[in-house]
Amino acid sequence: DNDMYGTDMTIGADTALHRIVDAVDAIASTAASHQRSFVVEVMGRRCGYLALMSALATGADWVLIPEAPPNLDNWEEKMCSVLAQGREVGRRDSIVIVAEGAQDRHGNPITSQHVKEILEDKLGEDTRVTVLGHVQRGGSPSAFDRNLSTLLGADAIEAMLSDEPQTEPLVIGIQGNVITRTPLSHCLEKTWGVAEAIKAKNYDLAMNLRGRSFRDSFQIVRTLVRAVPHEPAPGQRRLRIAVMNGGGPSPGMNTAVRAAIRLGVDKGHIMLGVKNGFRGLIDGHISELSWMQVGGWAHRGGSELGTNRHVPHDGDYYAIARNLEEHKIDALLMIGGWAGYQAVLGMYDQRKIFPAFNIPLICLPATINNNLPGAELSVGADTALNSIVEAVD
């Protein structure tokens, strides 16, 4: 459940998340072909980590977790309204993920069967329930869990050999990618604190105790599940932000592009996609991307925008500057690898010559090689590692 204080990840949580994501991806394909709705129940009696993160990873349309119940008494109406809007704008399926401990704001349980009945009664949709159950605990551990177990086990031996008999019991965990040791009593107090906060219906405290990453993920999911984005604020300046891929293809590129496009559009800005990497930026293959154009990209491999390892040189920079000016681009996000980083650095170095490059230039690391500066883990590296481990097994 990944519900233990004192560590960012508990051993087994990543593997369980893999099982859920694989199952939801498989369900999504049959749901879309039959235009059905599916309610997927996952483990998490007092912790919504698995439900929340699987919803984020799979692009689910709604999620219910114990720490943050729907803030409306008529939450069923709100959920059905969002799902119905999604169908109207082109979604072929609806996926709702429910943690087994989900409840409304009054503490009443929300079961997967109840959600199924709501969707059938209010939307008239053919709805199925899948309870994943103990399949989440089974199977071979993921690469992350194998490595985490090894590192924590090694540090546990070091801790035992260095401790005095009267030393307080410790929890060996990982925080910020660093192995840590935290007093057991403190960890148990904080862990119990979340359960007590949920029981007392103090949901703000429960979310705060889960930590910033959990809270941020929840807010992102709340935006991504929308059928349509918020309207731009009256009088706001709508920036024109370009998103592109660069370097070799990497798993997760499409997921990152989808998140960037939707979060940007929801904030009222105009999001543009650059086709075929920096060659596309040179040739002017730039077009606006809408909310629904990136629907379904969460689980797709490769690069829907297209990418390559071309690094601009000489006259290429003039062409890029011309296209940035022509499309009135206010910022550029490059999601990619080493070649993409080199290309962005080249634009930075050419700023004195080309004023069009005096805009925010942002790089998001995406490469299976995991060799980029400024990041401990690049998008795609974990997927590649799991593919290798599966092949070796």
Give catalytic residues, as residue numbers: 1
Question: Are 51 and 42 in contact, with CB atoms under 8 Å apart?
Answer: yes
Strand 270-274: give its sheet, edge to edge.
Answer: 286-288, 270-274, 240-246, 331-336, 361-365
Question: Are 376 and 174 in contact, with CB atoms under 8 Å apart?
Answer: no
Alpha helix stretches (DSSP H) within the chain: 13-34, 49-58, 75-88, 112-123, 143-162, 184-199, 203-210, 212-224, 253-266, 277-283, 316-326, 338-349, 381-392
- Pairwise CA distance, residues 148 & 273, whole Å: 37
Beta bridge partners of 112: none
- Which tokens sit at 198? 């949920």
Q: How many CA atoms lie within 13 A of 162 on its CB side?
A: 8
- Pairwise CA distance, residues 50 & 34, whole Å: 26
Please give the full DSSP string across 23-78, using - where no structure is assigned: HHHHHHHHHHHHT-EEEEEES-SS--HHHHHHHHHHT-SEEE-TTS--SSTTHHHH
- Which tokens sit at 132? 């994943």
Number of neighbouring beta carbons within 10 Å of residue 252:
21
Q: Is 370 left (phi over 0), alpha (psi -120 to 50) or beta?
A: left
Q: Which amino acid makes up residue 330? A: D
